[in-house]
Structure 1
Amino acid sequence: MQKSNSAPLEDVKKAKENQRLTDIPCIKWILLLAVFYTLYFAQSLIIPLVITILIALLLSPLVTLLKRVQVPRSLSSIALMVMLVAPFTLLGLELIEPAQKWAKLIPKLSVHLTEQVESISDAFEKQQKEEQIKAKPVKESSFFDWFSRDEVVTTPKETTSEVVTEHIKQGGLEFILEALGAAPVFLAQILVSVILILFLLIFGPSLFNAFIKELPTPQKRKKAIHLVSMTQAQLSRYIITVSVINSGLGLSTALALYLIGLEDALLWGVMVGILNFIPYVGSVLGVLILTLAGLVQYGVNVTVLMPVGAYLVLNMLESQFITPTVLGRNMLINPLVIMLWLIICGWLWGLSGILISVPLLVCIKLVLSELGLWENWLRIIEAGG
């Protein structure tokens, strides 16, 4: 009797254990979905925080160095932020006028391209109709043909063209209004980021020291200090190197376009330098933008290839020789992993997420490699980089 009673109890225990094991993957998937949900809807908070932390990690060694020569952290932090913000502000003021000109030109250019495409399609349709008329046998007319003819109602081409043109103009106007509406939010995020960077540079070290003191053992304290310092040094090296390379690419492209004679060469150089922070995709966007600029200035002829050709030569030198040589093997990542990461960050946070995706991936990779976590995944990320 005892054996017969114990058997059902064991079966119940096994069933509960199996239920727990099946519930664990479900809980993991639910947590993963919750993380994605939070990252997606909290982008207005997460993106300024990520940018703030990256810039603070970049500037913190300089502030610490100035602190050693008796320069207060508040003074050095403000001075470094002014040195960082002032060039971008002056460059933005310099590019406002050409950017406004192109913002007004985009709807007109879209209408012009649509009219050209319609004229080509109309000529093609006209040629097809003429060939059909030539190939069609001529029938003799009779009295009964009057009763078999169907009335064909045709809409004038001009009406359709006007509708398409008006739709494109309206789309361009909506794009400009959306950009103007997003400008205050963007400026507010920049202001919040600047304030957070100042507070992190001034008060961050004392908070970090208090956190280190709360760790239970000296080994964990040393490990935490080493992790932060190593990540800070490697990430600062990466961001500075990539920024210098992309700035050099933008300036050299602007100079080449100026020598070619393309208008607003500085604007295109700045756009090329910013887009180069996006691996692979940025180069394609740069080619499309320069092709569009060349079409506007030179029209449809061979001269359009000059700006694109100059950019492709400079981009090839940068991507195939300069960047791999300067960065070395420690920062190399599998291109497929980069593309998947770009897609995920773009889906979560839009263009801002794409711009910060690679520095964020490098930071995650450095932290995981230093902590010795997910070594198999790290080998996959670095494979073929």
Structure 2
Amino acid sequence: MSPRPAQSTALIVIAVCAAVWLLQTASHVMAPLLLALVVGIVTAPVGDLIEKIGLKRSVSAFVVLFCALSAVVLLGLLLVPVITDAVEMAPRIKWELRKFIGTLQPAIESVSDMQASIEDSLTPGSDPVPTATDAPSLTDAIWLAPGFFAQVMIFAGSLYFFLLSRNDLYRIIARNTARVSEEVLCAAERDVSRYFLTITAINAAFGLVIGLVMAALGMPNPFLWGLGAFLVNYLLYLGPIAFAVALLIAGFVTFEGAWSFLPAALYLSLNATEGQFVTPSLVGRHMSINPLAVFVSLIFWLWLWGPVGGVIAIPVLVWGLNLREAHTGPEPDSDTTITSVAAE
């Protein structure tokens, strides 16, 4: 390698590391800002549709912002009882897991030491009584409130002003970037929006099916499980795995014996069916992304910003690859569709 390419490579590596450091250090500002841009790109067609009715762009931007914030508030209200129940059920879940592990001890000699430690931790001669765990105090909530509301304001302001002036912003980017035109940016926006809205409809139907299945099985709060399935389905690979583990634990608490595995088994079966047949047929094969790129993007953004990063990981990846394909053209016989590998 000659000195000039080596210096260029070193500068690129340093720039990438600096950008990652900046994103992580300024996460309280950058996370809601980038989330607002992603939501703005996804909901842009809704704003355009409102404008076609005859309303001003400022009104359409406000309507989209109001709907987005209302959806977040509604989601929070739905999740509050779930979180409360999870905190209250934590001791019982811990005991059920210990009990399940204890039933496997006679058949597995290698875990005999674990059995002794579990038996010592339980009250001899009687069933342990689950004890309540400490929930976050009012003081903790008051301490965290200012930072949370500041992030909400950053999100709301960024989303509103992006929707209000996104065409002007695309025009400025096109004028200052030789290889990116306004048409390319608009096309990437349409592709990301079409993909995300289609996936949202599929996930909503999938969550409804899971809720009905959980109700038929007799699981507590079945439609809240359906809501959870709807949300985690945005996180390819990792979301369904985590949700299956949660269903497995809930199965231990709710049922006895082999029935404990049934909720998780049914969920994984339905998720595999949705990922292999339903989603690819509706999304289409034009969204062709390397599965490794999907997985790495999820890991990176989850590590960087947690759940917010998981939400924006795929839209950002789709948007970036659409910009790249606008210059290079679509690759023939590209890799498998992003959604077709979700359940593999």
Q: 1:183 to 1:240 in 2, by over 3 A?
A: farther
| Structure-2 residue corresponding to 1:319 | 275
CA shift digits 1:148-206 (9 cap, x unpaired): xxxxxxx9x75x658xxxxx989x64899999676764454234212221122224434
| Structure-1 residue corresponding to 2:312 | 356
**Deviation (angstroms), 1:319:** 0.4
| Structure-2 residue corresponding to 1:62 | 46
| Structure-1 residue corresponding to 2:213 | 256
Asked if residue 195 in structure 1 is aligned to residue 157 in structure 2, the reply is: yes
Is 56-65 or 353-362 further displaced after alignment?
Answer: 56-65
Partner SS for 2:82: helix
Amino acid at match of 2:67: M
Residue 225 (structure 1) aligned to one of 182, 187, 211: 182
Residue 289 (structure 1) aligned to one of 246, 255, 258: 246
Partner SS for 1:215: helix
Normalising to structure 2: TM-score of the pair? 0.79
1:79-158 superposed matches below 5 A: 79-114=63-98, 117=101, 158=120
| Structure-2 residue corresponding to 1:74 | 58
The whole-number CA distance in structure 2 between the counterparts of 1:208 and 1:359 is 18
The whole-number CA distance in structure 1 between the counterparts of 2:144 and 2:248 is 27
Asked if residue 46 in structure 1 is aligned to residue 30 in structure 2, the reply is: yes
Contact 1:257 1:307 in 2 (8 A): yes
Asked if residue 27 in structure 1 is aligned to residue 11 in structure 2, the reply is: yes
Residue 241 (structure 1) aligned to one of 198, 201, 205: 198
| Structure-2 residue corresponding to 1:304 | 260
Contact 1:337 1:381 in 2 (8 A): no
| Structure-2 residue corresponding to 1:215 | 175
| Structure-2 residue corresponding to 1:336 | 292
Partner SS for 2:306: helix
Amino acid at match of 2:308: S
CA shift digits 1:117-145 (9 cap, x unpaired): 468769989xx89xxxxxxxxxxxxxxxx
Aligned-pair RMSD on alpha carbons?
3.8
- Structure 2's unaligned 5+ residue stretches are 124-129, 338-344
- Structure 1's unaligned 5+ residue stretches are 1-16, 130-154, 163-167
The whole-number CA distance in structure 1 between the counterparts of 2:33 and 2:311 is 14
Structure possessing the higher radius of gyration over alpha carbons: 1
Q: 1:329 to 1:78 in 2, by over 3 A?
A: same
Amino acid at match of 2:163: L
Higher helix share: 1
Contact 2:170 2:182 in 1 (8 A): no
Identity of aligned residues (%): 25
| Structure-1 residue corresponding to 2:342 | none
Contact 2:33 2:154 in 1 (8 A): no
- The count of corresponding residues between Structure 1 and Structure 2 is 324
**Deviation (angstroms), 1:263:** 0.4
